[in-house]
Structure 1
């Protein structure tokens, strides 16, 4: 019988302790929310656009050179 009382008492203490910790711990933790990360200074679109312009000019120059040399 003593084992039964001990296990019952242990269960009651464990449940009480878990309820106390469940209610107390969230109140005692003062978590600070972090500020959002700053937006990137360049998202890469301007770099991509610059590369596209350079490639278009290169294609235009090559097309001009190929067509002008074939007319002779």
Structure 2
């Protein structure tokens, strides 16, 4: 039983060391993303959502 505790402790230490070291191994700098441009799709989608909610409310009120 004591050996099982030692193995568990050793595995926990190994997992901690690996989880701390692996992110730094794969460190890369990413290129900056371009600024978002609005082509009106988001506005159209917002209007569509508002109209759908109004239609649902109207349907609920009528029934």
Structure 2 length-normalised TM: 0.46
